[in-house]
Chain A
Amino acid sequence: MNNLDLLTAITVFVLSVLVGVEVISKVPATLHTPLMSGSNSVHGIVVIGAMLIAAESHTLLGYVLAFVAMVFGAMNVVGGYVVTDRMLEMFKAKPRSDEKAEV
């Protein structure tokens, strides 16, 4: 595994918070539920961590924990993106005509 030095890790950590605040504070209240569900799928990235621990496991307990982590992580990713898409599909400007609404 690559050894990430602490300073770099903390730099990434702090900058990510700033980017997150900047990007997300502009989202209108109308989209707060899809935003939350969308960001929920982003933390499904944890499945990558679960894959990495599955690769390192070599005991029964390790396998069981990795399996549960895989189930949780995959559920988070797949469910999160699918439900967000389902929700966003419903947001339409003019449901009963094909014209393009507002500019």
Chain B
Amino acid sequence: MDTVSNAVHYVFLAAAVCFVLGLHLMNHPRTARRGNAISASGMAVAIAATVWLVAHEGTITTTGWLVLVSGGLVGAALGLYAAREVKMTAMPQLVSLFNAVGGGAAALIAVNDLLQADDPAALGARVSLPGALDIVIGAVTFSGSLIAAGKLQGVVSGAPVVFPGARLLNVALPLSFVAGTVWLVLSPDSLTALYGLVAVALLFGVTMVLPIGGADMPVVIALLNAFTGSAVAMAGFVLDETALIIAGMLVSSSGGILTKLMADAMNRSIANVVVGGFGTGDSAPAATGGAPAQVRSVSADDVAVQLAYASRVVFVPGYGLAAAQAQHELGDLAQLLTDHGVEVSYAIHPVAGRMPGHMNVLLAEANVPYPQLKEMDEVNPEFPQADVALVIGANDVTNPIARKPGNAISGMPILDVDKAKSVVVIKRSMGHGYAGIDNELYTNPKTGMFFTDAKKGLSELKAAVGEFVG
């Protein structure tokens, strides 16, 4: 290793330190932004050092430079545009898209490395095995993330798409990965093995994500994030670059941890989410039998009185709030109540929204101070002291039936909304949540149902409360 190459690798080490520090500072909202800046500067320096390394080694052709610079500029412009324009409700799609491009780039690196090798047949398993793994994981992530983004965006049906033989295919395809990987390791110069592996992996990404229902997206995105990290680490093995291994595995562990947290919050195993089942719509909603239970319907004025005379109010926002883009109306209503001396807080279930922590971002966008955002374990003991719990577009995560055995959501950790002194639910209809079961909370005598769209309902409430306190 010559001096320049040595120096560049010290720079990579410094960049790796920046990534770890950056992620570490993410553990508090006050330091998180600085953490991101540190991580970004590490990245910038690493990229600059790579330019130096490439120029110094001198093997790059003029066309190579052209490719490098133009590709970089086009990508940077696209990334910048997407990042500036995206709505906060669309964050999950964007993260999914970045997973796709990251995984795709990692897979292309392995493909190109195998194609450009001087003597591909002589490549040992040291390169071809991580290369094959990189291709498999990267290509699965690429097509899987695109489908996930499509589902979130509504381009691809959010409902689980199940076709005959899909399950069989999802068993057969991984088996062909093993076969393809072995083939490629044994004969790294076989183009059939290389392209075959790419094709099978791309197909599997599609068939893996299509049958997964919209409600399971937080798990899927976290899982694909972990996959991307692993693919990048494998690219690091192929290229002999520790920087890629370190960064890739940091991402992979974060994705892994979030996947587990999300799956736990739904009381399901990761395998169960991927294989499908609950929330996928392929099990018929449990027949409830008997006459429809009585619910108490309330008006905006009724609710406004309750809120204005309460001393503690807990808001329980769910995906319905995000879907209606009503986070600003909720933020305004909360501010009005706070100014009036009411103590407000927000109870956030871990899977509220479409990706881990999504609801917090939406509320932050509506200027809700983060100390008011409370996690499930923190807020549950506070429900008995709450005068009013206002549920907006959340369903299954508030259903007390989860505490009883023998139903689709048994054992799922829920928000103890039913323990509040009174409950108001803003909901468009008596429709079911993803689990397809009745919510006992709605028929509880202390619950009032305010049937309306979240955005419209919250505006009406704000106006009505305004008249009382104004």
Interface of A is mostly: helix
Q: Are the C-beta atoms of B27 and A47 separated by less than 8 Å?
A: no
Q: Are the C-beta atoms of B375 and A30 separated by less than 8 Å?
A: yes
Q: How far is the CB of B343 from chain A (nearest CB, A)?
A: 15
A interface residues, tally (CB under 8 Å)? 88
Q: Can you sample 7 A-B contacts with CB below 8 Å?
A: A36-B255, A43-B248, A45-B19, A55-B68, A62-B112, A68-B71, A74-B74
Residues of A within 8 A of B88 (CB): 87
Residues of A within 8 A of B180 (CB): none
Q: How far is the CB of A47 from chain B (nearest CB, A)?
A: 7
Q: How far is the CB of B327 from chain A (nearest CB, A)?
A: 11
With A4-B241, A42-B23 already in contact, 9 other A-B pairs whose C-beta atoms are closer than 8 Å: A17-B249, A30-B370, A33-B358, A36-B255, A46-B105, A46-B244, A51-B54, A66-B112, A77-B79
Q: In the complex, A71 Cα to B254 Cα: how many Å?
A: 25
Q: In the complex, A103 Cα to B249 Cα: how many Å?
A: 33
**Contacts A27-B26, A46-B244 hold; do A56 and B250 have CB atoms under 8 A apart?**
no
Residues of A within 8 A of B19 (CB): 42, 45
**CB closest residue in chain B, given A48:** B50
Interface string of A21-60 (1 = CB under 8 A from B): 1011111111111111111111111111111111111110
**Contacts A55-B54, A65-B115, A70-B72 hold; do A16 and B245 have CB atoms under 8 A apart?**
yes
Q: How far is the CB of B298 from chain A (nearest CB, A)?
A: 30
**Contacts A4-B240, A41-B43, A75-B101 hold; do A29 and B250 have CB atoms under 8 A apart?**
no
Q: Are the C-beta atoms of A53 and B112 separated by less than 8 Å?
A: yes
**Contacts A72-B101, A76-B105 hold; do A50 and B71 have CB atoms under 8 A apart?**
yes
Contact of B95 among A36, A44, A48, A77 (CB under 8 A): A36
Contact of B257 among A25, A53, A87 (CB under 8 A): A25
A residues contacting B by CB (< 8 A) are 1-4, 6, 8-9, 12-13, 16-17, 19-21, 23-59, 61-63, 65-96, 101-102
Q: How far is the CB of B333 from chain A (nearest CB, A)?
A: 15
Q: Are the C-beta atoms of A52 and B241 separated by less than 8 Å?
A: yes
Nearest 9 A-B pairs (CB), nearest first? A70-B71, A32-B357, A74-B75, A79-B79, A20-B253, A16-B249, A78-B79, A82-B83, A32-B356
**Contacts A4-B242, A40-B225, A91-B32 hold; do A29 and B350 have CB atoms under 8 A apart?**
yes
Residues of B within 8 A of A26 (CB): 27
Q: Cβ of B59 < 8 Å from any Cβ of A?
A: yes
Residues of A within 8 A of B112 (CB): 53, 56-57, 62, 65-66, 69
Interface string of B107-137 (1 = CB under 8 A from A): 0110111011000000000100000000000
Q: How far is the CB of B382 from chain A (nearest CB, A)?
A: 16
Q: In the complex, A98 Cα to B30 Cα: how many Å?
A: 14
Q: Are the C-beta atoms of B370 and A33 separated by less than 8 Å?
A: no
Q: Are the C-beta atoms of B46 and A48 separated by less than 8 Å?
A: yes
Q: In the complex, A79 Cα to B350 Cα: how many Å?
A: 26
B residues contacting A by CB (< 8 A) are 1, 5, 9, 15, 19-20, 22-24, 26-30, 32-33, 35-37, 39-40, 43, 46-47, 50-51, 54, 57, 59-61, 63-65, 67-68, 70-76, 78-80, 82-84, 86, 88, 91, 94-95, 98-99, 101-102, 104-106, 108-109, 111-113, 115-116, 126, 221-222, 225, 228-229, 232-233, 235-237, 239-258, 261, 335, 348, 350, 355-358, 360-361, 364-365, 367-371, 373, 375
Contact of B239 among A39, A49, A57, A79 (CB under 8 A): A49
Residues of A within 8 A of B242 (CB): 4, 8-9, 12
Q: In the complex, A2 Cα to B103 Cα: how many Å?
A: 24
**Contacts A38-B26, A43-B102, A71-B74 hold; do A52 and B54 have CB atoms under 8 A apart?**
yes
Q: In the complex, A1 Cα to B238 Cα: how many Å?
A: 11
Residues of B within 8 A of A89 (CB): 33
Q: In the complex, A72 Cα to B30 Cα: how many Å?
A: 31
Contact of B348 among A29, A55, A70 (CB under 8 A): A29
Q: In the complex, A71 Cα to B74 Cα: how many Å?
A: 6
Residues of A within 8 A of B40 (CB): 41, 81, 85
Residues of A within 8 A of B51 (CB): 51
Residues of A within 8 A of B22 (CB): 38, 42
**CB closest residue in chain B, given A61:** B115
Q: Are the C-beta atoms of A35 and B371 separated by less than 8 Å?
A: no
